[in-house]
Amino acid sequence: MNKFKLLIISVLTLHFGCERDTSYLSQLQDPSLFRDAMKNLSNIVVYDIFSPPVASRVYVYPSIAAYETMRLALPDQYQSLSGQIKGLTPLPEANSDQVNYNLAALLAFNKVGKMLIFSEDRMEKFQEALDQKIRDFGVPRSVRIASENFAETVAIHIKNWADGDNYNQTRTFPKYTILDGDRFWKPTPPDYMDGIEPHWNQIRTMVLDSAGQFPPKDPLPFDLTKGSPFQKQLQQVYEVGGGLGEEELAIAKFWDCNPYVTHHRGHAMFATKKITPGGHWIGITNIVTKQAESDFGETINAFTNVSIALFDAFISCWDEKWKTLVVRPETLINKYYDEEWLPVLQTPPFPEYTSGHSVISRAAAIALTDIYGPDFRFEDTTELEYGLPARTFDSFIAASEEAAISRLYGGIHYMMAIEEGVKQGENVGKFIVNKIQTNTPLQNDLAASN
């Protein structure tokens, strides 16, 4: 692979070498440029308070825009996703041979990101700094203009495609009306927020045939009789919550990933904001691409595969949540066992079954395993900036297992939602990695022979 990369660079160098300083070309191969852009997007997602499913949408379209652009420089290495994911058509051709596709990929990423987030000023500020960096690299004006123009074309192309995913239409679909009966989900304290995205299953999937393609087992029948299978799981949440060890508490907090937790102190109220569960896996991907010394292309490839897995996994999970409408443990424990009982984590505002973190973590782990292998040990520092120490995992699957069980420790899920959620994520993840191929067959063969 390294040999191949060298070849490309030398070809490009030859082409321009006689007239200009082309050191910028290697500078534009720096994968941290993309990681920084992704980190910036993640920061804005946190600031703007996107809910977990909507956040997955904000990650996926810019990533695909970057991927489809980047691969134009490496057509032999990476295949287009058009034809592999729903509704995506090939990018229009650039009308200039001056385009630098790495630069255009970065620009397209930011452009599509800007369309999806709210705080455009934050994206603009980041883009201005990037522009300065690009000028400092000595990228010729003609290249900058051509790349910018092409990035704009890409962004419009992706935007038009994204517009067909039913997101705008679902904004005006009905809210969830609270149903009588203990078994149905109810808004939870302290803010009793409306249920998030009850119609997310109507969002167009990327790879899955439909939102309901991998239905989990039915949840345990609602039964509060002592000793019933459901009651046992409820009791388990109640008891685990009362006796958490230090490690379990650390695990619960590490994987909290609640984008908007409100705190009340008398009249004073404020919110703490964090990355979403999907954002956490974007963070892991960041760490992994660095640790694996992935090049520019592979970095984008990894993020793109992960964000596609996250996107479809959320749709699959939300489909189940709003079909089964299972009540959160907090609601039942407060009503029947202990009015003062508080889960370690704030209960997020949507139905319980299946656990979103379980589903999406497993799907993302499978996507990463597919690229970096089953024994990739890494130190997860994603939560450092939120005051939580790093945790080390022997594999992506191990991390996803911990993310799943953390929801029991956190007091926000029954075991059934975790176990079935993991299975659901496994099904979604495997289906996706089998169905879409980003590396060209040749590359796959090379990788296999190495």
Q: Which residues bind another protein (CB under 8 A)?
A: 46-49, 117-121, 168-169, 171-172, 174-178, 186-187, 189-192, 194, 261-274, 334, 339, 342, 385-387
Instruction: Please choose, from the candidates 358, 259, 390, 362, the residue with its C-alpha nearest in 3D space to the C-alpha of residue 306.
Output: 362
174 or 227: CB nearest another protein: 174
List, in sequence order, every beta strand (DSSP E) within 103-167. Answer: none
Report how far residue 234's alpha carbon sits from residue 228's, in angstroms, rounded to the nearest whole number. 10
List, in sequence order, every beta strand (DSSP E) within 173-224. Answer: none
Q: How near is the Cβ of 254 to another protein at its closest, in Å?
A: 12
Q: How near is the Cβ of 192 to another protein at its closest, in Å?
A: 5
Q: How near is the Cβ of 347 to another protein at its closest, in Å?
A: 10
Q: How near is the Cβ of 282 to another protein at its closest, in Å?
A: 17
222 or 341: CB nearest another protein: 341
Residue 263 φ then ψ, to 5°: -125, 135
Q: How near is the Cβ of 147 to another protein at its closest, in Å?
A: 26
177 or 450: CB nearest another protein: 177
49 or 240: CB nearest another protein: 49
List, in sequence order, every beta strand (DSSP E) within 42-87. Answer: none
30 or 48: CB nearest another protein: 48
Contact 262, 190 (CB under 8 A): yes
Q: How near is the Cβ of 48 to another protein at its closest, in Å?
A: 7
Q: How near is the Cβ of 118 to another protein at its closest, in Å?
A: 4
4 or 47: CB nearest another protein: 47
52 or 219: CB nearest another protein: 52
Q: Which residues partner with 261 through β-bridges?
A: 272
**What are the CA-CA distances from residue 449 to residues 279, 370, 438, 444 (Å)?**
34, 16, 18, 9
388-414 b/e (C-beta count within 10 Å ≥ 16 → b): beebebebbbbbbbbbbbbbbbbbbbb
Query: Encoding tokens for residue 325?
Result: 């409408």
- Residue 449's contacts (CB-CB under 8 Å, 6 or more residues apart) are none
